[in-house]
Amino acid sequence: MSGLSTSTFGSDKKPLKDLLSSISSGKIQLPDFQRGWVWDDERIKSLLASLSLSFPVGTIMLLETENAQVRFKPRAIEGAVLSGSQRPEYLILDGQQRLTALFQSIFSETVVETRDARNKMIKRWYYIDICRALDTNSDRDEAIISLPETRQVVNFRGEVIDDYSTPDKEYAAHRFPLSRVFDSSDWRTGYQEYWNYNSDKIKLFNTFERDVIKRFEQYQMPIITLYKDTPKEAVCQVFEKVNTGGVSLTVFELLTATFAVDDFDLREDWKQRENRLYKYSVLHGLKNDDFLQGIALLTTWERRNEALLHGIRVEDAPGISCKRRDILTLQVENYVQWAETLTEGFEKAARLLRSQKIFSAQDVPYRTQLVPLATVYAVLGKEADYDNVRGKLIRWYWCGVLGELYSSAVETRFAKDLPELLNWINDGSEPDTIQDANFIPNRLLTLKSRNSAAYKGLSALLLRDNALDFVTGEAIEEQMYADSKIDIHHIFPADWCDKHNIDRHRRDCIVNKTPLAARTNRSIGNNAPSVYIARIEREISNTRVDEILRSHVIEPKLLRTDQFETFFELRKQALLDRIERVMNKPIPRDMPADFEKPDEFEAELA
C-alpha cells in the first residue's frame, strides 16, 4: 500500500471465534468515525454461506491502539454490550460490515437487526437447513434461512405455515440455528434425543458437523495489523483505499475522531460555524476541509513566526503549510485558538466578494481562493478595513481569478499567499500571485461556460463596473440579482449567429455574452439586435438605451445595425481594458490572430 513500509504493518490469520470473542469483550472495537452497520439480509446470508464452505471472505484490517500515534474515540460494534469503558486493544479499519454481520448472526445469541430488499428494518434469526447443506446438488445459499423474530413463517393471511420457535421444532425440521455454531453440543444432544438416537440421524448430524460446523470453528480470518507507530496520515490514506464499503474518510472525519478523545466535538462545532457562514450565499460551497486548511495555515504561520522570534534561522524555521499532513497534526488547542477568528475572516471574505458583485456560490470563480483570503483577514483584523489594504486585497483577488491561478497545486500557493500578502500590505514586494498573473487576449475566445473561473470573473467584473439591466435600466445589486435570475446570455442570439454563419467559437464566447435578467433574455429571444433594441427603445429613450448598452461595454450603433464583426472586435478590446485595469497590469495586444486553440475551447463545453 502506498505510504506504508513493511515495518508499519504485519499480516496473520486468526480464528474467527477468537475475533468474535474479542469483539464481545471489547478488545476489538470501532473508531468512532465509522458509520453504522448497513448490511441487508441477503448479504448476511451470502456471507454465512461462504463461511460454511470455507470460502475466503476478504481480509480484516486492524489498528493497534496501545501507545499508538493515532488516538481515536472507540465504540463497540453494533450488538456488543460492554460492561464499563473497556479500552480496546485494536480498532477495526476495514471489515466492520462483515464482522458485525458475523458477530450478530453467529455469536451474540440475539436477534439480528437488518434490512430487507426494500430497505425496511427487519429482525432476523439465521438457520441452516442440514439436509440441503449436505445435498451436493443444492446451492449452499439455498440452505441458509433467515426467520422473523418469532421464528415463524406466516402467509399473507397471517397463518403460521412454518414454525421453528422451539428446539423440538428445530430438530423436527433439521434446521440448525447458526447462533449455536460455536457451542453446538447441547443442540446435538437434544437433536439425538428427539430422534431417539436413530442411527441415520446421528450419521446425518455427524456429517453436518464435519462438513459445516467444523468449517466455522476452524475458519481462519486473514488479518492485516497496522502497528501502533503508524502515522496518522498513513492511517487516513489506508482507510480511504480499503474501506470502499464505508464512509469516505476525509481529514475532517479523521480529525473529528481524534479530537473526540479530548472530548471536543469537531462535527458539532463545525455545524454551528457552517450555519453561521451559510448566511452568506457565496459561502454555500465552502467545505469543512477548507476551514481546516485555514486553521493549518494560521497554526503553521504562527509557529514559524515564533521560531524566527527565538533566533531560529529562516532556512531552519518550520514552514507554512496546509497540506493533509499539516491538518492531521492539528491539536484541539490549535483549532480552538483560531476557529472564531477564521470564521470572522470568512465572513469578511464573503463581504468583499459581495462588494465585487459576486453574489452566489455558483458565481465564485475559485472557492479555494477564499482560504488564503480568510486567513489574511484573520491575521489583520480591523486593519483589513483600511482603504489601502482593501484595495490591495481586491487587486490580489482579481489577479488570482483572471490569471486562473487557483485551479491546481493550491496548497503551495496558499502557503505563499499568507506571508506574502501580509508583507505586501506592510509595504513589501508584490505577492507571487500578482507577479504570476497574466491574461492572454485570445483567452477571451475560449471562455464559454461557468467551467472557467475567468468566465465567471468577467461576468462579475461587468456587474461591479455598474452594468445596467437592458430593460429596467437598474444597477444589478444582490436582491435584484436573486429576484431577476441574472445569468450570462448572448448579445447576438445564437440562432441569429447561425443564420449569419458566425463561427461558433465567437458566437458562444464571453465577448458575445453579458449578464442579463431572465425576463430580459426572454424579450430578446432569437431576434436580431436591431429588432430587440428597437423594441426596448419604444419603452425608454434612445439616450437611455445607449447609456445602458455602454455600461456593458457595447457600442450601441453596432447593435442597431447588426454589425457583429465590428461589435466583436471593439468589445473584445473593451473587455481587455477592464481586465487590465482591475489587475493593474499591462496586457499584450499583439497576439497572433491564430492563437485561439479550438481544443482548449472544446474542453470548456458544458
Q: What is the pLDDT of residues 102-119, one digit of tens each?
A: 999 999 989 999 998 888
Number of H helices, E strands in the chain: 29, 14
β-bridge pairing 121-129 and 175-177: antiparallel
Do 458 and 553 reside in the same domain of the chain?
yes
H or E stretch covering 455: helix 453-464
How many alpha carbons fall within 13 Å on the CB side of residue 547? 12
Nearest to 70 by CA among 95, 97, 88, 96: 88
Output the pLDDT for position 582.
96
**Is residue 122 scored above 90 in pLDDT?**
yes
Is the pTM above the cut of 0.85? no
- Mapping DSSP to helix (H, G, I), strand (E, B) and coil, where does residue 483 land? helix
Which region among 144-153, 414-423, 444-453, 517-526 has the lowest average model confidence (pLDDT)? 517-526
Output the pLDDT for position 477.
75
Do 151 and 168 reside in the same domain of the chain?
yes
H or E stretch covering 194: helix 185-194
**pLDDT band with cut points at 50, 70 and 90 for residue 101:** very high
Distance CA 293, CA 296 (A): 5
Distance CA 565, CA 502 (A): 9
Output the pLDDT for position 131.
96
Of 417, 437, 457, the residue at which a domain comes to its end is 437
**Which cell numbers hold the place of 229?**
507507530
Do 103 and 229 reside in the same domain of the chain?
yes
Output the DSSP codes for 271-293: HHHHHHHTTSGGGTT--HHHHHH
Output the pLDDT for position 475.
80
Percent of the chain with pLDDT over 70: 91
Whether residue 18 is contained in a domain is answered as yes
Q: Is 360 exposed, middle or buried (0-12, 13-18, 19+ CB in 10 A)?
A: middle
Whether residue 340 is contained in a domain is answered as yes
Ranges 28-32, 61-65, 410-414, 421-425, most confident: 421-425
Do 571 and 486 reside in the same domain of the chain?
yes
Give residue-wise pLDDT tens across range 370-401: 999 999 999 999 999 999 999 999 999 999 99
User: Which amino acid is residue 490, in one-letter code?
Assistant: H
Is the CB of residue 107 less than 8 Å from the CB of residue 182?
A: yes
How many alpha carbons fall within 13 Å on the CB side of residue 425? 25
**Is residue 591 scored above 60 in pLDDT?**
no
**Is residue 602 scored above 60 in pLDDT?**
no
Nearest to 591 by CA among 431, 436, 446: 446
Do 400 and 498 reside in the same domain of the chain?
no
CB within 8 Å of 287: residues ≥ 6 apart: 367
Q: Quick one: DSSP state of residue 527?
A: -
Do 259 and 175 reside in the same domain of the chain?
no
Give residue-wise pLDDT tens across range 166-203: 999 999 999 999 999 999 999 999 999 999 999 999 99
Can you give the residue range of the structural domain that contains 121? 113-204
Nearest to 181 by CA among 201, 203, 211, 152: 211
Mean pLDDT of 591-597: 51
Of 437, 459, 477, the residue at which a domain comes to its end is 437
**Which cell numbers hold the place of 516?**
442579463
Query: Which of the pair, 33 or 424, is modelled with greater confidence?
Result: 424
Distance CA 342, CA 293 (A): 11
Backbone angles phi, psi at 353, to 5 degrees: -60, -40
Of 437, 469, 493, the residue at which a domain comes to its end is 437
Whether residue 29 is contained in a domain is answered as yes
Query: Which of the pair, 477 or 23, is modelled with greater confidence?
Result: 23
Report how many domains make up the chain.
4
Whether residue 178 is contained in a domain is answered as yes
Do 379 and 477 reside in the same domain of the chain?
no
- Mapping DSSP to helix (H, G, I), strand (E, B) and coil, where does residue 119 land? coil
Distance CA 29, CA 23 (A): 6
Output the pLDDT for position 151.
94
Do 294 and 359 reside in the same domain of the chain?
yes
Do 484 and 536 reside in the same domain of the chain?
yes
Nearest to 376 by CA among 439, 320, 314, 317: 320
Do 507 and 518 reside in the same domain of the chain?
yes
Distance CA 253, CA 119 (A): 26
Percent of the chain with pLDDT over 90: 66
User: Which amino acid is residue 551, in one-letter code?
Assistant: S
User: Which amino acid is residue 457, in one-letter code?
Assistant: G
Distance CA 348, CA 379 (A): 12
Sheet holding 220-226, edge to edge: 9-15, 220-226, 60-64, 90-94, 28-31, 74-75
Please provide the distance, in angstroms rounded to a whole number, between the alpha carbons at the two ends of the chain: 37
Do 10 and 98 reside in the same domain of the chain?
yes
Biggest CA-to-CA distance, the chain: 109
Q: Is 287 exposed, middle or buried (0-12, 13-18, 19+ CB in 10 A)?
A: middle
Whether residue 316 is contained in a domain is answered as yes
Output the DSSP codes for 385-429: GSHHHHHHHHHHHHHHHHTT-SSS-HHHHHHHHHHHHHHHHTT-P
H or E stretch covering 153: strand 152-154
Is the CB of residue 285 less than 8 Å from the CB of residue 361?
A: yes
Please state, rounded to an integer, the average pLDDT across all residues of the chain. Answer: 88
Distance CA 134, CA 276 (A): 63
Whether residue 295 is contained in a domain is answered as yes
β-bridge pairing 60-64 and 220-226: parallel
Whether residue 1 is contained in a domain is answered as no
Output the pLDDT for position 3.
47
Distance CA 593, CA 587 (A): 15
Give residue-wise pLDDT tens across range 242-272: 555 544 567 888 788 788 878 899 999 999 9
Whether residue 209 is contained in a domain is answered as no
Q: Is 546 exposed, middle or buried (0-12, 13-18, 19+ CB in 10 A)?
A: middle
Do 494 and 584 reside in the same domain of the chain?
yes
